[in-house]
Chain A
């Protein structure tokens, strides 16, 4: 197998690992959360104030109990997914405060947008999981928004979903709501992960109280967590990518260690969306080639530790689903998929360095996910697939269009698109000369019209409604 993109050698990975261990052992890492500190102390870790020092032996001990692959159970068992080793999932954009309009303007996102994205996930052929905070709804109170989002995740879609890491209480709410579906907390723990939540470090070398608290709560309930760094090379981390990899590894492994102390075997994912700071503006760039270099190295470092990996997907700095968005998103998404990332977050919808979601780009990127899966589908090479006899029978200068095999496979052998233009110029002109973003506007309406709410036990829905109402009252 030859691929020019071989980012790191085994020796280089070892050097990055050694640097990370040096950082954790001598500088340590700050956990701004009391329970996290007491857990570390109770397990004999050296703690000084809020700073925890972690030895290589302690990290290796934690890595003994981390699963390299796990299943995320959906309330509709047909939609269970596996993450790790050869299995990967596409998961939608995350955390955008704005929605991009068809004229390139932005508006604040609402709960209606959030629900629309849940519906689009439900009807998606290519997106495997529902997200969390796909947009930040501005029209519901911020302190209870996570309840509304988790509720929509469960009710509007029967795929597995991302959980809430907004705070310790927010994570607990998410666990309690999942427990309602699976018949109590003990049963939920036995089922294992039904959610995956995104725990971000605060680079360099810190975990906020919300994130550390959420991690503890979720690990305790046997729910999966992505532990991820978003280092801006040159500002919140070293300017060199090898330095970034050492720093992110230190941060991620500290989180992994905490999760395993709470619950040995808790599913965790080595995550990174580290990228470069744009030196001209001081802003984050996620459309740059350095992001994809880090994606590749992240996949390798995760395998080095036998952990599943997470990176970004269809990422761009463009503010409109234009050619720049297409180029940058394709680079990042295909790099993630081809390099073996297991949990591809932000697979679709993101514009403008995470600031906005676009319905049109959501659909374009979704198509890219389908294309990428096709790209990676193993090729069948058998005597029946080569079919030398048929080639001999057609012989020199014949044609294959009327061969029975062509007839049999004409609908299944190739990737079918009803999205990308395949018409000739005259046909494209006759259909209104539509750009792909304009075509996506029409498609969006059709998709939302075709949505059907998945079945759910009315007693579960009532219990969830009651839970959210009660929690909102405080």
Chain B
């Protein structure tokens, strides 16, 4: 079962093998959706689970995500139109005034690993930019990050701007000082205190 080999190669952070195996499966005319969902994304789900359990460390998780992405690059030209967006597009960034991006980068990588199409707007992103990116990319989720209490109000501003623009996109928030209570207060659709949780949250909200 060669798809299982792809799964294993991602689990062992072996980028070169992932590339080789994905290429071989393509040539063998294996179902592309199976390669993607059972091989690449399936492995990243397992990686996320192992990370949440404390069994895998952050740098290992990121190496796995990188291996997965290199396989995805090979698949992309062969995916049916829109298949890459099938899981949905997530727009992510650190809110206005906040330059901290370690946590945000972690979430973005995990989201990509889970098969979402991720638009990373970087740091210090104002509300208008989030709105425009969500609109232009038909995003299903907008993910906002903040490390400073002084920039948390910008989450409120951004969510308000998204609603005022009439977008139905789901909003999720996270960062060290952010709490579920704060998320409820600013009427965000969800909150998670870690990266794998954010992935689960995005899945749930898109499925809802």
Point out residues on A near B: beta carbons under 8 Å.
97-98, 136, 138, 142, 202, 206, 208, 232, 234-236, 277, 279-283, 355
Contacts and interface: CB of A to CB of B under 8 A. Distances in A.
A232 B177 contact: no
A281 B58 contact: yes
B58 A236 contact: no
A319 to B, nearest CB: 13
Contact of B58 (A136, A206, A208, A279): A279
Contact of B57 (A97, A279, A355): A279
A234 B57 CA distance: 12
Contacts of B99: 202, 206, 208
18 contacts: A97-B149, A97-B177, A136-B149, A136-B150, A208-B99, A234-B59, A235-B58, A235-B102, A236-B102, A277-B102, A279-B59, A280-B54, A280-B57, A281-B194, A282-B102, A282-B103, A282-B106, A283-B176
Contacts of B102: 232, 235-236, 277, 282
Given A138-B149, A355-B177, 17 more contacts: A97-B149, A98-B177, A136-B149, A142-B153, A208-B99, A232-B102, A234-B59, A235-B58, A235-B102, A277-B102, A280-B58, A281-B54, A281-B58, A282-B58, A282-B102, A282-B103, A283-B176
Contacts of A236: 102
B195 interface: yes
Contacts of B194: 281-282
Nearest to A145: B150
Contacts of A202: 99
Closest 5 CB pairs of A and B: A279-B57, A97-B149, A282-B58, A97-B177, A280-B54
B99, B102, B194, B195: residue with the most chain A Cβ atoms closer than 10 Å: B102
Contacts of B150: 136, 142
A206 B101 CA distance: 14
The main secondary structure of chain B at its interface with chain A is helix
B58, B194, B195: residue with the most chain A Cβ atoms closer than 10 Å: B58
Nearest to B150: A142
A234 to B, nearest CB: 7
A146 to B, nearest CB: 11
B176 A355 contact: yes
Interface string B44-79: 000000000010011100000000000000000000
Interface string B66-100: 00000000000000000000000000000000010
Interface residues of B, number: 15
Nearest to B182: A108
B59 to A, nearest CB: 7
Contacts of A281: 54, 58, 194
Contacts of B58: 234-235, 277, 279-282
Nearest to B176: A355
Contacts of A97: 149, 177
Contacts of A280: 54, 57-58
Nearest to A138: B149
Nearest to A281: B194
B78 to A, nearest CB: 34
A283 B106 CA distance: 11
Nearest to B100: A202
Nearest to A353: B176
A52 B165 CA distance: 41
Interface in B186-208: 194-195
A449 to B, nearest CB: 30
B109 to A, nearest CB: 11
Nearest to A166: B150
A98 B178 CA distance: 11
A208 B147 CA distance: 15
Contacts of A208: 99
Contacts of A98: 177
A97 B103 CA distance: 18
Contacts of B177: 97-98, 355
Interface string B148-189: 011001000000000000000000000011000000000000
B54, B99, B106, B149: residue with the most chain A Cβ atoms closer than 10 Å: B149
Contacts of A277: 58, 102
Contacts of A355: 176-177
Nearest to A280: B54
Nearest to A352: B176
B139 to A, nearest CB: 24
B119 to A, nearest CB: 22
A280 B149 CA distance: 25
A183 B2 CA distance: 80
Contacts of B106: 282
Contacts of B103: 282
A279 B59 CA distance: 7
A142 B150 CA distance: 7
Contacts of A136: 149-150
A232, A235, A236: residue with the most chain B Cβ atoms closer than 10 Å: A235
A82 to B, nearest CB: 33
A98 B149 CA distance: 10
